[in-house]
Structure 1
Amino acid sequence: MKKFKKVLVSLLGVAAVGLLLTGCSTEGDKKEEAKNKEPKDLKIGFSISTLNNPAFVYLKDQIEENAKKEGSKIIVADAQNDSAKQSDNMDDFIQQKVDAIIVNPVDSSAIAPSVEAANDANIPVVAVDRSSDGGEILSLIVSDNVKGGEMAAKYLIDTLGENAKVAMIEGIPGASATNERGEGFKKGAKGKLDIVASQNGDFDRAKSLTVTENILQANPEIKGIFAQNDEEALGALEAVKAAKRDDIVIIGFDGAEDALKSIEEKELNATIGQRFDEMAKLSLDSIYKHYKGEKVDKEIFAPVELITQK
């Protein structure tokens, strides 16, 4: 009887191991199968922070255009600069069982739980223009924001001379682009520019107009403004024109169509141009490489360039 029990236990043990191995094999097969999908078979969710910014509209258009060439399906969700709405959008993508997600975070900290949820669902996530503070990102596609901030500071130094009093209009608090562009600008300005004011414009034109009006009233001596995106720069420009302060030099960040037109018309002084076309291509390429089983770089920098009236 004892011998029979031992044999039975042994058989059950073998069966359990067999089931475990079968489970592992099935899971491995699923991952292997996932790694061999063609671009035409992929459904990709794209959560964008806002479509109220022409630069991001261009980014969306470029992603859709590049995906169309490869036959991939793109589902776009506009978070309208609301981190809670973006979280809901991410949940929807996970429920739809998309093959991958591209996210342009409203807030780098707030997006982390959604990235972790996608990780749990085995859905790769690519972050574009802004990073996530948590979860595992397949690849971060971003401009060198720190370098761009330094370039903005150098432009104001070259244009206004050292020790000029300037202001900075910051982006959305918590966004990585806000932190990095601010870091670069302060680094480039240290000991060479006097930053007398720094306020949040939330990457929004209307809010930045009001913020600039307040800055001008409190600091009439300023000679330059660095706005952390072009929408803020154009809002600042409206306030400067209304105050008849054509002596103030304004530089933005993005290279958005409205800003380039304003520069061409000799109104906005300059911008740090991002290559959103390149960022769109790199975002999709990272996903395609993943599904071909190829190595994907964790961080890819797209180029930035100074664009002036000259």
Structure 2
Amino acid sequence: MLNFWAGNAPEQWEIIQDIRVNGGDTKKAQSDASALLRENADIKGFFGCNNTSTVGIVNTLLKEERTDVVLVGFDLADETKQMLQNPEYHAVTVLQKQDQMGYLGMLSLNSLIKGEKSEQKYFDTGVIMVDSDYLMENAVS
């Protein structure tokens, strides 16, 4: 991901090469996001690659009232929904189609149990980009 942005971002962008791993701990994710804000006062955006990271970043941005920072995250926890519903913040989250993931996973497992081998290695289960407009137009829970 960093290599992609380092090679494709506009020249005026500086991509911070500091990846923080929280091990599924929301409080650590929040602490990491807060530290990144302190260390990079002019930061413009965050990417949370899973629900834990996203919630930690959301909590930090809301607590520090950083309406100037954009968030792209994953999944739709209550905290993330709160940020999306606040027009002062700029955020979008990627909602995975978990029902489709589970369904296709069980189909694959059933095929393996029957001794069938699938030639398909990857399944695109699709995603939904959720922003404030999407929340207003759709009942997302």
TM range (shorter): 0.7 to 0.9
1:195 lines up with 2:12 in the alignment: no
- Counterpart-to-counterpart distance in 2, 1:201 and 1:306: 24
Q: Number of aligned residue pairs: give it.
A: 126
Residue 287 and residue 224 in structure 1: after superposition, are their counterparts in 2 closer, same or farther (change >3 A)?
A: same
Return the match for 2:121 from 295, 298, 304: 298
Which consecutive unaligned segments of at least 5 residues does structure 1 have?
1-182
RMSD: 2.4
CA contact (8 A) 2:44 2:69 kept: yes
- Give the ranges of 4+ consecutive aligned residues of structure 1 lying more than 4 Å apart after TM superposition: none
Could you state the TM-score of these two structures normalised by the residue count of structure 1? 0.36
User: Cα offset for 1:228?
Assistant: 1.0
1:51-130 matches, within 5 Å, as: none
Alignment partner of 1:305: what SS?
strand
Among 86, 89, 107, the residue aligned to 1:285: 107
**Residue 212 of structure 1: CA displacement?**
1.0
Where in structure 2 are the equivalents of 1:1-310 lying within 5 Å?
183=1, 186-188=3-5, 190-192=8-10, 193-202=13-22, 203-253=24-74, 255-258=75-78, 261-266=81-86, 269-296=91-118, 297-310=120-133
Deviation at 1:286, TM superposition (A): 0.6
Long gaps (5+) in structure 2 = 134-141
Amino acid aligned to 2:94: I
Structure-1 residue corresponding to 2:138: none
**More strand per residue:** 1
Larger Rg: 1
What TM-score do you get using the length of structure 2 for normalisation? 0.73
Distance 2:100 2:34 in 1: 35
Matched letter for residue 218 of structure 1: E
* Kept in 2: contact 1:251–1:271 (CA 8 A): yes
Give 1 or 2: higher helix fraction.
1
Deviation at 1:226, TM superposition (A): 0.8
Asked if structure 1 preserves the Cα contact closer than 8 Å seen for 2:58 and 2:80, the reply is no
Contact map agreement 2:30 2:59 (CA 8 A) in 1: yes
In terms of mean alpha carbon deviation, does 209-218 or 297-306 score higher?
A: 297-306
